[in-house]
Amino acid sequence: MATNFKYASISDLTKYFGRVSDFDSKRQLFSFTLQESGEGYAAPPYLSPNSGLANNFYRDGNDLGSGKQTIGTTALTLANEVISSSEVEIDVDNGSDCTNESYIKIDDEIMYISSISTNTLTCIRGRLGTSAESHIDDSVVYQHFFPSADGQWLYDSDNDFVVISSSSDVNQNIMESGEDHSSFMNQALVDASLELHNYLDMRYSTPLQKIKQTDIDTAGVSIEEEYDPIIIKSVCYIASANLIRAKEGASEEADYYYSLVTNPEKSGLLDKLNDGIFKLSFEVDANDKKGSIKYRNVSGTMDLVELAGEYSGEPYDLLKIEIEETGAYGVSTFKVHHFSNDKIFGDVTTPEIITGGLQHIYGGLSGRFMGLQATDGDIWEVEVVSSHRKQTNKSNATIEMRR
């Protein structure tokens, strides 16, 4: 897939699935045979037949991506004669476009150029597992493999082989093809993330967006946006099930991880999310109108310990409660920064004395302070949603009965 969208990282996957390292897509290749050798070769070519698709190639764990070659798709030149299956000196329109000690391809045959004299190529016919055959005049000549340096390699999908130039016998190395492990795991997470979209109920627009999660020690403006942990966990469980089934087939372990997300009993994470039993951070529930302390920066011994009532102001507001005067009950005062003048914290209330009882804060919301002494500059940020806003995550199991 071309997309790189995902809700979780490899570190997340490792946290929820302890066998990540067992699922490496690379496979070892064997039986490399030396093709051509001679004094002109510092790194002669070795070929492994029936290699299977090899988009990436590794020698002793080292990625050889920088040495990857592909079969040419643009004509080097054209044959300037009818070529019989036994002919070794082949005339072309322009020999200068070809490279000595490299492979060319005409139709289905691969040839090795051993020397070039003007427009005549001296070739070894039927190389790299192909057979010599006849070709008509003006047949197109394509570049195949040019073993110019150690580590140069090519995968031929038509003939299903890998050929690599190497300064030593590659059979003494561990040669592997396949995806890089991190790329493979990231793709598994991409697939799982897109699969998760298919499980989500119509109540959600996808893709889901990151949102500021709770960090009681960080002011709201500075909190980094993240995906909800329930979404990250669900994606990791889906990816785990897919990885296990791809490698091991039918598996109780894969069924277990999958059932943590969704199952016929509707007890999986996404089942409960769709039913309104669980909710995401951006959703409005019945308790949001009561307010929630999202951040506190307190140096004194007095804290805001309780919120009550129902906020009835703006559809959304972030109240900043700030101690105005240091002192105990009956002495210390607080003020509230609230939405006004088209912005959060746009205005501030008149200071009120802290009583220690349940007292009005702002907009129908009450609170209670407890402790020996509040200190000037102490701050609490309280997130509130108006009681008039519609609840977005009502449980599907809630049915009104009438008689």
* Statement to judge: residues 197 and 113 lie in one domain: no
* Statement to judge: residues 367 and 311 lie in one domain: yes
* Statement to judge: residues 63 and 153 lie in one domain: yes
Residue 391 in any domain: the answer is: no
* Statement to judge: residues 232 and 264 lie in one domain: yes
The span from the CA of 195 to the CA of 257, in Å, is 14
Element (H, E) at 182: helix 181-199
Residue 240 in any domain: the answer is: yes
* Statement to judge: residues 163 and 63 lie in one domain: yes
* Statement to judge: residues 241 and 198 lie in one domain: yes
Domain count, the chain: 4
Which residues lie closer than 8 Å to 192 by C-beta, 6 or more apart?
A: 6, 8, 235, 236, 238, 239, 242
Residue 306 in any domain: the answer is: yes
Distances (CA, A) of 339 to 236, 286, 384: 39, 22, 11
Contact criterion met (CB below 8 Å) for 145 and 99:
no
pTM: 0.65
Residue 7 in any domain: the answer is: no
The pLDDT of residue 38: 60
Question: Of 124, 143, 162, which one is at a domain's C-terminal end?
Answer: 143
The pLDDT of residue 84: 96
The span from the CA of 35 to the CA of 52, in Å, is 19
* Statement to judge: residues 164 and 33 lie in one domain: yes
Residue 399 in any domain: the answer is: no
* Statement to judge: residues 40 and 160 lie in one domain: yes
Distances (CA, A) of 87 to 83, 124, 256: 6, 9, 64
Provide the residue range defining the domain that includes 313: 288-385
Q: How far is CA 192 from the centre of its chain?
A: 10
* Statement to judge: residues 304 and 165 lie in one domain: no
Q: Dihedral sign, CA of 374, 312, 383, 348?
A: negative
The span from the CA of 344 to the CA of 58, in Å, is 55
| DSSP 8-class letter at 208 | P
Question: Of 241, 274, 307, which one is at a domain's C-terminal end?
Answer: 274
* Statement to judge: residues 174 and 31 lie in one domain: yes
The span from the CA of 374 to the CA of 218, in Å, is 20
Give the largest CA-CA distance in the chain.
Answer: 109
Q: Residues of the chain whose pLDDT is less than 70?
A: 1-2, 38-41, 220, 391, 393-403
* Statement to judge: residues 254 and 370 lie in one domain: no
Question: Of 119, 143, 167, which one is at a domain's C-terminal end?
Answer: 143
